[in-house]
């Protein structure tokens, strides 16, 4: 039972263009959402988060959008840079899981020079 | 990663042997977690700890045990390793409170069970 889903295993984008990574969740009790970025042979690192009381959070080139009615969140990277090439995981917490995070399966982003 | 180290980073072992992975932190964070990462599954929680000698099971705890006798160390043990436990294991820490959701991960331990 995958409560957090990333349906696109991979995405390729031209440098300078926008990257949009998507994430869907099924548990309506989730109230906090995060994105992590992972380079090969390293641990995931926190990128950006959003609370369910907001629908948008921005940090530099990264913006996360939350659509609670659709149980959908997305990460926008503008402009995309080759150094953004990594695996991106979305994660959610709340409800009976408390502070424990439930992760999606990840999307591998490749930014072409 | 600064403040959190995992050992060993790589290990190859045979089916049926015991294996212990160590996570050591210098941040004095209360919460520690063990995840495994597998293709098609993302990161799945194995066990977690909310303090010394306070541990609980995650979603994929079968075949694993943990111990936390000191704040800084969280050990993950495979009593009798199986090929299905071949994976990359990540330890994570967080101070709890308002920052509870933001985890800091170690660099990972790649385990191969032959």
Statement: residue A22 has pLDDT above 90: yes
A100 pLDDT band (50/70/90 cuts)? confident
- The string of pLDDT tens digits covering residues B5-57 is 999 999 999 999 999 999 999 999 999 999 999 988 999 999 999 999 999 99
Cis preceding linkage at B8, omega within 30? yes
Mean pLDDT for chain A overall = 95
CB contact under 8 A, A103 and B43: yes
CA distance A96 to A77: 31
A103 → closest Cβ in B42, B100, B102: B42
The two beta strands, A4-5 and A32-38, are unpaired
Q: What is the mean pLDDT of residues A104-111?
A: 97
CB contact under 8 A, B42 and A106: yes
Percent of chain B's residues with pLDDT above 90: 87
Q: What is the mean pLDDT of residues A63-82?
A: 97
CB contact under 8 A, B104 and A46: yes
Min CA distance, B48 vs chain A (Å)?
9
- The string of pLDDT tens digits covering residues B54-109 is 999 999 999 999 999 999 999 999 999 999 999 999 999 998 776 667 899 999 99
B101 → closest Cβ in A89, A99, A106: A99
């Amino acid at each position: 039972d995958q409560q957090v889903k990333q349906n696109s295993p991979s995405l390729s984008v031209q440098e300078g263009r926008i990257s949009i990574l998507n994430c869907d969740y099924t548990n309506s009790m989730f109230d906090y959402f995060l994105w992590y970025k992972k380079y090969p042979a390293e641990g995931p690192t926190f990128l950006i988060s959003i609370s369910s009381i907001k629908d948008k959070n921005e940090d530099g080139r990264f913006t996360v959008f939350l659509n609670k009615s659709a149980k959908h969140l997305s990460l926008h990277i503008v402009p995309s840079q080759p150094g953004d090439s990594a695996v991106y995981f979305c994660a959610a917490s709340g409800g009976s899981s408390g502070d424990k995070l439930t992760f999606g399966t990840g999307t591998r982003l490749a930014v072409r020079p | 990663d600064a403040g959190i180290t995992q050992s060993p980073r790589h290990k190859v072992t045979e089916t049926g042997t015991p294996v212990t992975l160590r996570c050591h932190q210098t941040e004095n964070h209360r919460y520690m977690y063990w995840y495994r990462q597998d293709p098609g599954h993302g990161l799945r929680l194995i066990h977690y700890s909310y303090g010394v000698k306070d541990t609980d099971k995650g979603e994929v705890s079968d075949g694993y045990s943990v111990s936390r006798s000191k704040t800084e160390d969280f050990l993950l043990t495979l009593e009798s390793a199986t090929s299905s436990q071949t994976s990359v294991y990540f330890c994570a820490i967080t101070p709890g409170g308002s920052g509870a959701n933001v985890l800091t991960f170690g660099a990972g331990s790649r385990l191969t069970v032959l």
